[in-house]
Amino acid sequence: MNNVFLIGLVSFFADLSTEMVYPLIPIYLTTAFGATPALVGVIEGIAESLASLLKVFSGYITDKYRKKKPIAFCGYATGLLYKVLLIFAVSWVGILIARIVDRFGKGIRTAPRDVLVSESGNPQKLGQSFGLHKALDMAGSAAGILVAFFIMKTWNGKNAYTELFILSCIPAVLSLFMFLFIKETSKPRESKEPLHVWRGFKNLHKHLKLYLLVVFIFTLGNSSNAFLLLRASHVGFDPAEVIILYFVYNLVSSLLAFPCGKLSDYVGRKPLLVAGYLFFALVYANFAWASSKTVIMVAFVLYGVYTAMIAGVERAFISEIAPPKLKGTMLGMHSTIVGIALLPASVMAGFLWSAFGPAIPFALGASLSLCAATLLAFGMRSQ
């Protein structure tokens, strides 16, 4: 578990750096560059999807060479480059390029990092391992958001964003420093035989095939978090208050991720996953028809509960049911499927918002989440 903790610290500092700036990106785009919700959707959708497409290839390379640590390091290093690009961006195109670079790095690092986590802890307690990692990951996010809040409250003027981008480089460097203490978890692959990925896909466990379909359906309605922040702003929260809402979401997720992961080791992954999708439907219903700030605040809390139920548990589920030689590839495939669905999800949400208002895209997301929960509950008889 010591290695899991160290990997968690890498994510803690990396997310601290990223979340110092992420909640402000949609507001920065709309206020500094005049971007519309539709344009925000296009930018987020392109950035997330292009990067997610890389994850399956990153996972394959991880499985082929069994060198997870250097691949993950390269992925985290792009987080520092992302902040530098933000500093020098002079238009929404510059922000788009920066976001693509950031998500590119995430596409590289996610699969090898998750394989490191799965191989560093007790195989019988994968939920606990992934829960611990996710708890530290979300704690870093919460800390970054809190830093951003105090900075935006005390710094004034048009240079406040740039100063924040510069400051965010410090934890990005610390995340890379932590790699000095992480141990590789297995020997490099000695066999030169091909991995037979396609044959492995055809022979996947039926539960994993079903879950990948569930993930695709769900993600079609799960647009970028940028829309949650825009919705809060739309209801009347000022930028500083929006940051606090996002902090609450991350804090709740951080506090519950470890117990949810541990619980899944005892009751199984399926009950947590189904409950998580039901919570998501409730969250998006609240965002769709929010009539007051109180409803929005409750929605952000519930969104944290959903994330705690899903994020670590789904990785534990995929890790334990995937073919051992293709564990990285399957973890990457999961993320790639999310990316394939996320582009139309974010673009569609942006255009639906612009054409019909915020209720329609959130209602669509709630409906698809209910479909995903139903398919998982009744299509997977045991797990």
Q: How confident is the model at residue 170 (pLDDT cuts 50, 70, 90)?
A: very high
Is residue 255 scored above 80 in pLDDT? Answer: yes
At residue 201, the pLDDT reads 57
Q: How far apart are CA 343 and CA 103, in angstroms?
A: 13
Q: What is the mean pLDDT of the chain?
A: 83
Sign of CA dihedral 197, 76, 33, 226: positive
At residue 190, the pLDDT reads 45
- Summarised one tens digit per residue, pLDDT across range 279-317 is 999 999 999 988 788 999 999 999 999 999 998 888 888
Is residue 206 scored above 90 in pLDDT? Answer: no
Report whether 327 contacts 115 (CB < 8 A): yes
- Summarised one tens digit per residue, pLDDT across range 314-371 is 888 888 888 777 777 788 788 788 877 877 887 888 888 888 888 899 999 999 999 9
The mean pLDDT of 146-170, rounded to a whole number, is 78
At residue 357, the pLDDT reads 86
Q: How far apart are CA 71 and CA 62, in angstroms?
A: 8
At residue 321, the pLDDT reads 80
The mean pLDDT of 232-242, rounded to a whole number, is 82
Cα–Cα nearest to 1, from 123, 175, 143, 141: 123
- Summarised one tens digit per residue, pLDDT across range 215-236 is 999 998 887 787 888 888 888 8
Percentage above 70 pLDDT, the chain:
89
Q: How far apart are CA 25 and CA 145, in angstroms?
A: 12
Q: How confident is the model at residue 49 (pLDDT cuts 50, 70, 90)?
A: low
At residue 252, the pLDDT reads 93
At residue 195, the pLDDT reads 47
Which pTM was predicted? 0.78
At residue 192, the pLDDT reads 47
- Summarised one tens digit per residue, pLDDT across range 74-116 is 889 998 999 999 888 888 888 888 888 888 888 788 888 888 8
Domain covering 2-179+198-379 assigned CATH 1.20.1250.20 in the classification: yes
Report whether 117 contacts 257 (CB < 8 A): no
Rg of the chain over Cα atoms, rounded to whole angstroms, equals 20
At residue 13, the pLDDT reads 95
Cα–Cα nearest to 104, from 40, 168, 43, 52: 52
Is residue 191 scored above 60 in pLDDT? Answer: no
Task: Outline where DSSP puts E strands in the chain.
Answer: none
Q: How far apart are CA 137 and CA 13, in angstroms?
A: 8
